[in-house]
Amino acid sequence: MIEWVIPGRLARSPRPGSASAGLDAAAVEGWMAVARALRIRSILCLLDDEQLGRYDHLSGGLLETYRRGGFAVGHVPIRDLQTPPIPEFRLPEIWRLFQELPSPLVVHCWAGIDRTGAAVAYLKQRLEAEGAG
């Protein structure tokens, strides 16, 4: 589920729902409830358009569901199963959204491993380089 990378500032997670729990509204609501309990204010979604489309059954889709749930939302669509997981030209956009969106922020992709891992490692490295980590 959602875990802190930098407590109170940056968290990581797989997408709401799972193969066993499904991708229905209840799974998304449950995920958002956990995020609220952790006082997460923003969500940075790295799902590509095909993956995001799997939530089209939700009214307005996943990103709008997050907004209606009270979260600020950033979206950087990145295709899954690439090497490296995030193309270098996308990193400045991830950094910009991290700086602009209210903190704390959670980053998620589909499984919460490759793209999310690369994004949070990059953000953590930038923060440490700037003496803010």
d(CA 113, CA 109): 8
pLDDT 10s digits, 16-29: 998 666 789 999 99
Angle between helices 25-37 and 61-68 (to 10 degrees): 40
**Dist. CA 8–CA 23, nearest whole Å:** 27
Q: Shortest CA distance to 98 belongs to which of 7, 11, 15, 36? A: 11
Q: What pLDDT, in 10s, does the model give residues 90-128?
A: 999 999 999 999 999 999 999 999 999 999 999 999 999
**Average of per-residue pLDDT across 40-66:** 97
CA dist 94 and 98 (Å) reads 6
The pLDDT, as a whole number, for residue 85 is 96
Pick the closest to residue 11 from 33, 49, 58, 44 (CA basis). Answer: 44
What domains can you pick out in the chain, each with its CATH number?
A: 3-129 (3.90.190.10)
Q: How do 3-6 and 10-13 pair as beta strands?
A: antiparallel
pTM of the predicted model as reported, rounded to 2 decimal places: 0.95
